[in-house]
């Protein structure tokens, strides 16, 4: 705890030369955090690319069994929330805390809307036996669901291969479908966790905006949360085509 | 460092570009079949463009100092190394003179 109290809007903390230096140091810290975020999700993306290369058909079938309308809707919701967040930073930098508060509120509503859509997607998948854990994975139901949603020109179908059974022409072993859903739930789940953390951060920012704590000289917290929110958007930009479309 | 304030106009244009590119992603993935890994590569190319737009305008890298750009690029460079060497590994696994895995370029056996 610092014993010296200072006006954050007007003075730098005692270990900084100036407000500018304080701002740049804080922002650079957030950027280092962003680089680690890129690398953390990057590991999961490498896993996705490798298994997609090994099992191209089951990954196509897995993607087709997701509802891409909901994925596209969520993409739009996140893009709009990124815009309102960017504009909130612009308003805070001009000292318009009230306007910024409204924009961050819209961003939070978008974040919650994203999670509501995700809730409906997850429960639908779990109902069809597509959750790969806790004994909820149902191979027969999963393969049937994937086959029913497979694109018409795929040229193959998945089968639940039994021991001793041979694959007929045009049939693909559906065992690796589970692997797709492991990555689907891990990647979108980790991303959804980031959305929830973002909601928490935005509640904090809204409280401070309401107290009129920011101004043209001090707005680091809003900018930092903005950077975090945009990287969450960037990750979804890659998740959406990889999971839902291809 | 100068504190560049991005005007509303620029933010709206950025959002518009991202929405248009999302539409392009959906249309090309759903209605144009390039065969093999063509669609994957095209979708990833568009996604990289969108990520570049978000990083440059929404995340202000276009107006930011060199150090933050270097930090962002470091993250991306290490990710590229990871993806690159994993791809080299998979695509060079040979079995009887033939590449064991299609590397996504052909799904035919």
**Does residue A229 or residue A9 have the better pLDDT?**
A229
What is the β-pairing status of strands A157-159 and A171-173?
parallel
Query: How big is the A-B interface in CB pairs under 8 Å?
Result: 138
pLDDT (mean) for A184-193: 96
Position B105 pLDDT exceeds 60: no
pLDDT tens sequence across A127-150: 888 999 888 888 888 888 888 888
By three-state DSSP, how is residue A219 classified?
coil
Residue A218's closest chain B neighbor by CA?
Answer: B3
User: Which residues does chain B have within 8 Å of residue A45's beta carbon, measured at their own beta carbons?
Assistant: 79, 83
- Whether the CB of B77 is below 8 Å from some CB of chain A: the reply is no
A143-146 own/partner pairs: CB under 8 Å, 24+ apart: A143/A174, A143/A177, A145/A65, A146/A58, A146/A61, A146/A62, A146/A64, A146/A65, A146/A174, A146/A177
pTM score, two decimals? Answer: 0.91
Kindly determine whether residue B90 and residue A246, on different chains, have CB atoms separated by under 8 Å: no
Calpha distance B74→A146 (Å, rounded): 39
Three-state secondary structure string covering A117-176 = HHHHHHHHHHHCCCCCCCCCCCHHHHHHHHHHHCCCCCCCEEECCCCCCCCCCCEEEHHH
Please give the mean pLDDT across all residues of chain A.
Answer: 91
Q: How many CB atoms lie within 10 A of CB A3?
A: 5
User: Which residues does chain B have within 8 Å of residue A38's beta carbon, measured at their own beta carbons?
Assistant: 72, 75-76, 79
Report DSSP state, residue B100: S
Quickly state the pLDDT bin for B109 (edges 50, 70, 90): very low
Provide the CB-side half-sphere exposure for B47 (13 A, CA): 22
Give pLDDT, residue A5: 60
Torsions phi, psi for B40 (to 5 deg): -65, -45
Give pLDDT, residue B31: 87
Residue among B43, B65, B76 minimizing CB distance to A246: B43
Q: What is the ipTM of this complex?
A: 0.90
Burial A222-243 (b: 16+ CB within 10 A, else e): bbbbbbbbbbbbbbbbbbbbbb
Lowest-confidence segment of A162-176, A200-214, A229-243 by average pLDDT: A162-176
- Single out the residue of B51, B102, A167 nearest to residue B43, CA to CA: B51
Contact status, residue B104 vs residue A53, Cβ threshold 8 Å: yes
Structure-token match 């893009």, residue found: A79
Kindly determine whether residue B59 and residue A227, on different chains, have CB atoms separated by under 8 Å: yes
pLDDT tens sequence across A50-73: 999 889 889 999 999 999 999 999
Report DSSP state, residue B7: P
Give pLDDT, residue A1: 47
Position A84 pLDDT exceeds 90: yes
Residue among A32, A80, A241 minimizing CB distance to B29: A241
Calpha distance B93→B102 (Å, rounded): 10
> What percentage of chain A has pLDDT greater than the value 90?
67
Quickly state the pLDDT bin for B97 (edges 50, 70, 90): low
Q: How many CB atoms lie within 10 A of CB A189?
A: 12
pLDDT (mean) for A105-114: 97
Position B6 pLDDT exceeds 80: yes
Kindly determine whether residue B3 and residue A216, on different chains, have CB atoms separated by under 8 Å: yes
Lowest-confidence segment of A8-12, A50-54, A234-238, B105-109 by average pLDDT: B105-109
Q: Which residues pair with B98 in a beta bridge?
A: B95
By three-state DSSP, how is residue A212 classified?
coil
Kindly determine whether residue A83 and residue B14, on different chains, have CB atoms separated by under 8 Å: yes
Q: DSSP letters of B45-71? A: HHHHHHHHHIIIIIT-TTTS-HHHHHH
pLDDT tens sequence across B76-96: 999 999 999 998 988 888 655
Kindly determine whether residue A53 and residue B102, on different chains, have CB atoms separated by under 8 Å: yes
User: Which residues does chain B have within 8 Å of residue A237's beta carbon, measured at their own beta carbons?
Assistant: 47, 50-51, 54
Residue among B30, B75, B87 minimizing CB distance to A34: B75
Lowest-confidence segment of A5-14, A156-165, A211-220, B6-15 by average pLDDT: A5-14
Torsions phi, psi for A196 (to 5 deg): -65, -40
Give pLDDT, residue B2: 56
Give pLDDT, residue A101: 97
**All residues at 6 or more sequence positions from B73 whose CB lies less than 8 Å from its CB, including other chains:** none
Residue among B15, B25, B78 minimizing CB distance to A241: B25
Structure-token match 């929110």, residue found: A229
- Single out the residue of A115, A126, A124, A125 nearest to residue A74, CA to CA: A115
**Does residue A225 or residue A135 have the better pLDDT?**
A225
Kindly determine whether residue A230 and residue B7, on different chains, have CB atoms separated by under 8 Å: no
- Whether the CB of B107 is below 8 Å from some CB of chain A: the reply is yes
Please give the mean pLDDT across all residues of chain B.
Answer: 85
**Does residue A157 or residue B100 have the better pLDDT?**
A157
């Amino acid at each position: 705890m610092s014993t010296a109290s200072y006006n954050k809007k007007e003075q730098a903390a005692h270990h900084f030369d100036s407000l500018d230096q304080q701002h740049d140091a804080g922002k650079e810290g957030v950027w280092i955090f962003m680089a680690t975020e890129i690398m953390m999700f990057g590991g999961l993306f490498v896993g996705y690319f490798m298994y997609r290369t090994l099992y191209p058909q089951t990954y196509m079938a897995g993607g087709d069994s997701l509802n891409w309308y909901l994925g596209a809707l969520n993409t739009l919701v996140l893009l709009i929330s990124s815009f309102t967040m960017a504009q909130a930073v612009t308003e805070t930098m001009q000292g318009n805390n009230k306007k910024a508060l409204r924009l961050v509120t819209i961003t939070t509503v978008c974040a919650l809307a994203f999670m509501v859509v995700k809730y409906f997607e997850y429960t639908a998948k779990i109902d069809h036996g597509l959750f790969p854990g806790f004994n909820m994975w149902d191979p027969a139901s999963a393969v049937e669901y994937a086959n029913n949603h497979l694109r018409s020109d795929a040229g193959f179908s998945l089968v639940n291969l039994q021991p001793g059974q041979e694959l007929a022409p045009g049939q693909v072993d559906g065992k690796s479908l589970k692997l797709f859903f492991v990555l689907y739930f891990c990647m979108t789940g980790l991303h959804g966790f980031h959305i929830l953390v973002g909601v928490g951060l935005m509640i904090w920012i809204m409280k401070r905006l309401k107290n009129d704590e920011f101004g043209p000289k001090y707005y680091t917290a809003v900018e930092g949360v903005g950077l975090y929110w945009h990287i969450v958007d960037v990750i979804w930009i890659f998740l959406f085509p990889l999971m839902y479309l291809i | 460092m100068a504190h560049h304030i991005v005007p509303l106009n620029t933010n709206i244009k950025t959002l518009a570009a991202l929405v248009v590119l999302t539409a392009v992603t959906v249309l090309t993935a759903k209605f144009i079949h390039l065969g093999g890994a063509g669609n994957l590569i095209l979708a990833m190319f568009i996604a990289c463009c969108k990520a570049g737009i978000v990083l440059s305008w929404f995340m202000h890298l276009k107006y930011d100092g060199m150090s933050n750009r270097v930090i962002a690029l470091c993250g991306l460079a290490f990710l590229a190394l990871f993806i690159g060497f994993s791809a080299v590994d998979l695509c060079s696994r040979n079995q009887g003179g033939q590449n064991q895995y299609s590397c996504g370029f052909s799904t035919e056996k």
